[in-house]
Amino acid sequence: MTDSKPTKDSSIADTAWIRTSKLSRHYVRGPQEVRALDGVDLTISHGEFVAVVGSSGSGKSTLLNLLAGLDTPTEGQIFIAGEELNTFSRKRLSRYRAEQIGMVFQSFNLISHKTAQENVETALYFNETPKSERRKLSREMLSRLGLAERLDHHPADLSGGEQQRVALARALVKNPQILFADEPTGNLDRENTAAISAMLKSFNQNGVTVVMVTHDSELANTCARRIISMDYGKIVTDVATDVDAGGAK
């Protein structure tokens, strides 16, 4: 028996795809401090499909924004494949955001002066994808999401559900390793929700790790293999669903 074995903690850091340690994000507003995220320890393996649920204000978007490198923790750390996000150079961070992850924002964040197709194309600017290929891939992705007839519409001329699907197309067109999706079906009807759910499962089956915030417990139960529930900035439950490893119920 030797004591040269790696500690439990360092072995997790080596194998985890996404790991947080005591992750916190506090906001100070005058005398008031909001603990939007309060000491979250979370490990997500490669290829998982995780749903994050919880009441409004419980810290779900805060968590996603931190994991996506769009916000900086007040305390704690985030490791992506063992590398600490906070130590990424500017260049490495832009590469992480542009190439490795896709993000669907709760508020869509589409560029208003660009058409649906142009919005999706922006996701492919980072690499050498030729313009013709960018257009082709963007059209195909929008068509898969039922928007073949809306390619030239600007966000203001699209419904909420259509804008949401453009945002999803923009996140998925680059084939990210990780998809962070904040309420990706929040504005969709049943039929479109089912279509998006099938699409997310299929991306996940092809190896994309999915972390999805949702208020829709049916969606969480039919898509995700693991449901994390948050309250007051903390994880209160973390349970496996009975969705099988293939991602289908």
Ligand X SMILES: Nc1ncnc2c1ncn2[C@@H]1O[C@H](COP(=O)(O)OP(=O)(O)OP(=O)(O)O)[C@@H](O)[C@H]1O
Give contact residues for ligand X (rule: CB under 6 A). Answer: 27, 29, 34, 36, 54, 56-62, 106
Using the minimum distance from each CB to ligand X, give the nearer residue, 58 or 204. 58
State the binding partner of 76 from Mg ion, ligand X, none, CB within 5 to 8 A by kind. none
Contact 182, 60 (CB under 8 A): yes
State the binding partner of 16 from Mg ion, ligand X, none, CB within 5 to 8 A by kind. none
> Taking CB under 5 A as the criterion, which residues in 99-138 touch Mg ion?
106
Nearest distance from residue 172's CB to Mg ion, in Å?
20
Q: Residues 6 or more apart from 9 whose CB is under 8 A from it?
A: none
- The token pair that represents 5 in the structure block: 């074995």
What count of other Cβ atoms lies within 10 Å of the Cβ of residue 126?
13
Using the minimum distance from each CB to ligand X, give the nearer residue, 74 or 106. 106
State the binding partner of 27 from ligand X, Mg ion, none, CB within 5 to 8 A by kind. ligand X
What count of other Cβ atoms lies within 10 Å of the Cβ of residue 33?
11
* Integer Cα distance of 186 and 108 in angstroms: 11
* Integer Cα distance of 78 and 71 in angstroms: 11
State the binding partner of 151 from Mg ion, ligand X, none, CB within 5 to 8 A by kind. none
- Binder of Mg ion out of 61, 65, 177, 204 (CB under 5 A): 61
Amino acid identity of residue 31, one-letter, is P
Strands, sheet with 32-44, edge to edge from the N-terminal-most edge strand: 32-44, 18-29, 75-80, 83-84
Residue whose token pair is 């924002």:
105
State the binding partner of 57 from Mg ion, ligand X, none, CB within 5 to 8 A by kind. ligand X
Using the minimum distance from each CB to ligand X, give the nearer residue, 161 or 186. 186
Closest by CA to 126, choosing from 83, 170, 79, 162, is 170
State the binding partner of 34 from Mg ion, ligand X, none, CB within 5 to 8 A by kind. ligand X
Nearest distance from residue 113's CB to Mg ion, in Å?
26
Nearest distance from residue 48's CB to ligand X, in Å?
20
* Integer Cα distance of 248 and 201 in angstroms: 7
**Does residue 163 bind Mg ion (CB under 5 A)?**
no
Q: Residues in the site for Mg ion, rule: CB under 5 A?
A: 61, 106
